[in-house]
């Protein structure tokens, strides 16, 4: 029976971002998992797919959620972890404006408290409004905040760019939101 790439992507996101222990997997340094071990542990836990299925999901993912190691033996989630992972990204100067998509029901709290990582390790920011709109739509009626990333950077806030282009920072205070 063919593997559904959407379901496999969701499974990989769940295991590599949030619950590696659910299948008895331990993430290595910087969030890496050996692909062969991942496939075997997933099969033992009842989720069957082959290495080729996994590589197909990585290659065709429009969101580029996953990264392969340079030797092709390991995989990791590019960002979005709720488990403690140090991705080894270096701080970078961000574009002057970044965007954050959310649902309108969260706007009041965000304007009061700023953007917080919630269950994730860091706040996720987009380089363009259209991507932020799509992210916001996943949670309800979308609202997009403009983030004064240049102003934050000038005040010493650190930004990181994940392998898939998502910008990461620890917190965005309300005064940097529009």
The 10s digit of each residue's pLDDT in 159-175 is 999 988 999 999 999 99
At 81 the pLDDT is 83
User: How is residue 115 written in tokens?
Assistant: 């953007």
At 63 the pLDDT is 78
Helices (H), the chain: 5-13, 35-44, 51-60, 107-113, 129-137, 149-154
The 10 Å Cβ neighbour count of residue 76 is: 23
Average of per-residue pLDDT across 38-64: 93
Q: Could you tell me which residue, 61 or 19, shows the higher pLDDT? A: 19
Determine the CATH number of domain 5-77: 1.10.10.970
Q: How far apart are CA 71 and CA 102, in angstroms?
A: 37
What is the pLDDT confidence band of residue 114, given thresholds at 50, 70 and 90? very high
pLDDT tens-digit series, residues 66-107: 999 999 999 999 888 888 888 888 999 999 999 999 999 999
Does pTM top 0.85 for this prediction?
Answer: no
Q: What do you get for the CA distance between the two ends of the chain, in Å?
A: 49
In percent, the amount of the chain with pLDDT more than 90 equals 83
What is the pLDDT confidence band of residue 15, given thresholds at 50, 70 and 90? very high
At 75 the pLDDT is 97
Range(s) within the chain of domains with CATH label 1.10.10.970: 5-77
Residue 137, CB half-sphere, CA atoms under 13 Å: how many?
6
Q: May I ask the CATH class of domain 97-176?
A: alpha beta
At 119 the pLDDT is 79
What is the pLDDT confidence band of residue 23, given thresholds at 50, 70 and 90? very high
**With 80 as the cut, is the pLDDT of residue 158 above it?**
yes
Range(s) within the chain of domains with CATH label 3.20.170.30: 97-176
At 67 the pLDDT is 92
At 16 the pLDDT is 96
**Cα–Cα–Cα angle for 14, 60, 89, rounded to 5 degrees:** 60
At 83 the pLDDT is 84
What is the pLDDT confidence band of residue 5, given thresholds at 50, 70 and 90? very high
């Amino acid at each position: 029976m063919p593997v559904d790439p959407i379901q496999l992507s969701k499974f990989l996101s769940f295991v590599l971002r949030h619950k590696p222990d659910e299948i008895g997997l331990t993430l290595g340094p910087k969030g890496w998992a050996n692909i062969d071990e991942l496939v075997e542990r997933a099969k033992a836990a009842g989720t069957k797919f082959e290495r080729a299925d996994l590589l197909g999901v990585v290659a065709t993912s429009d969101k580029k959620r996953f990264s392969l190691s340079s030797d092709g033996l390991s995989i990791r989630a590019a960002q979005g972890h709720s488990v403690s992972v140090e991705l080894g990204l270096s701080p970078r100067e961000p574009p002057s404006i970044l965007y954050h998509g959310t649902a309108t029901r969260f706007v009041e709290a965000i304007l009061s408290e700023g953007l917080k990582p919630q269950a994730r390790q860091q706040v996720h920011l987009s380089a363009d409004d259209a991507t932020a709109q799509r992210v916001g739509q996943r949670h309800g009626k979308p609202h997009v905040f403009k983030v004064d990333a240049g102003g934050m950077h000038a005040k010493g806030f650190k930004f990181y760019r994940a392998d898939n282009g998502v910008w990461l920072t620890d917190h965005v205070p309300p005064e940097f939101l529009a």
